[in-house]
Structure 1
Amino acid sequence: MSNPMNATRPPQATSLMTVMGSMLAAIPLITLVMWFVLAVDGIGDFPPTWAPLLILAAAAGAYSLCELAGFRTAPLQPGGRPADVERLSWQRFTSSTFVRFAVCEAVFLLSLPLAFIVDSFWVILVGAVLAMPLLAWEVWPGVRNTQRFAASLESAGHPSYLLGRPQDYL
């Protein structure tokens, strides 16, 4: 007998993982491009401490916002066909995922103009090193994030089918 942990993922999960993977890949690519722009003389000296601390504060703020509010949503209303409820659940989860992505990616995007202000590639590296794990933890549509959002959807006691439908586990 199968259980939700090893059941096949719905097509919505697969496509969302594909989109998130390609969006996550942009950060290393942009970092590489910015290396050619800012690191002409090697990687250079470390910038003034206020610049990396500003990026760190943005990462802490993004993490806090995602953890405290990023997985909250209005509970589902009773009724409806399971397929329709599942589709609605995935639509809400996908839109929540994109909002969390925008919040977390802002950490890296803040590092870009800041790197030009202090004229240091280190700021972009700090932004990328903080943003990538943050995005992977808060945005990737894995079991942790799907279960957290499903719990919010099901808080009124009605199934969301976000983790699958009972017939999927037989």
Structure 2
Amino acid sequence: MAQNEYDATPRELRNFALLQIVLTAAFLAALFWMLGGTDADRPHWAVWVGLLVAVAVGGVLADRVWLSAAPLDPATDPEENRSAAVGVYAAQTVRKLILCEAPLLLAVLVAFVTDSGGWPIAIAGLPGLIVMAFEVWPSLRNVSMTATMLDANGAESDLIDSFV
């Protein structure tokens, strides 16, 4: 059976994803303005590269989370498999969120320990939010990749139909 299940519905997952994206954007915007925006000197190019690489690595790791899904048992009740599939997808969404937010928290840390104002948040914030929205939102791409892993042994998870 699948691991790391959560009791969730597709609607709750959409609301969770939307809430996390909006809250993260608001948090980054508040910190950006609190630190003075772009009034400070731009940071060294190595900071730019480091933060953008961190965002890219977080995105790549988040994109591979769907590979961790164990196939469902085809002998299990179809309704139970459907519920388990949504739970597995919910657990993957939380892991993707953590992996996508880690570079953003790194940018916040860099902004506080350097004298570059809000530049680190500006550098990593927009690309990081785009990556987070792409990875966390239950799009057809994200749901179908997880469904492929869950249905690998012949089970019918109906995960895609759950989100349509």
- Report the equivalent of 1:95: 91
Counterpart Cα distance in 2 of 1:164 and 1:31: 35
Kindly indicate whether residue 112 of structure 2 is the aligned counterpart of residue 119 of structure 1.
Answer: no
Structure 1 residue 119: Cα displacement: 2.0
Instruction: Give the letter for the 2:141 counterpart.
Output: R
CA contact (8 A) 1:78 1:158 kept: yes
Identity %: 24
Alignment-mate amino acid for residue 136 of structure 1? A
Structure whose alpha-carbon radius of gyration is higher: 1
Q: Choose which of 55, 60, 65 in structure 2 pairs with 1:59.
A: 55
Which residue of structure 1 aligns with residue 32 of structure 2?
35
Q: Report what 2:101 is aligned to.
A: 105
- Taking the aligned partners of 2:32 and 2:59, their CA distance within structure 1 comes to 26
Q: Which SS does the other structure have where 1:141 is aligned? A: coil
Candidates 10, 13, 19, aligned match of 2:10: 13
Counterpart in 2 of 1:79? 75
Tell me the matched-pair count. 154
- Name the stretch that deviates more: 136-145 or 86-95: 136-145
Please report the TM-score for the alignment, with normalisation by the length of structure 1. 0.83
Match of 2:20?
23
Q: How does 1:128-147 map to 2 (within 5 A)?
A: 128-147=125-144
Deviation of 1:103 (Å): 0.2
Q: What runs of 5+ residues in structure 1 fail to find an aligned partner? A: 1-10
User: Deviation of residue 27 (structure 1)?
Assistant: 2.1
**TM superposition score normalised by structure 2:** 0.86
Q: Distance in 2 between matches of 1:25 and 1:52?
A: 24
Which structure 1 residue ranges, 4+ long, deviate > 3 Å from structure 2? none
Task: Report the Cα offset of residue 21 of structure 1.
Answer: 0.6
2:40: which partner in 1? 44
C-alpha distance after superposition, 1:15-44 (max 9, x if no partner): 10101111111222112221332107x532
Taking the aligned partners of 2:32 and 2:128, their CA distance within structure 1 comes to 17
Give yes or no for contact 2:72–2:157 (8 Å, CA) kept in 1: yes
CA RMSD, 1 decimal? 1.9
Distance 1:91 1:39 in 2: 42
**Unmatched 5+ stretches in structure 2:** 1-7
Q: Deviations over 1:20-73 (max 9, x none)?
A: 111111222112221332107x53221111212111111121122123x31111
Q: CA deviation at 1:139?
A: 1.3
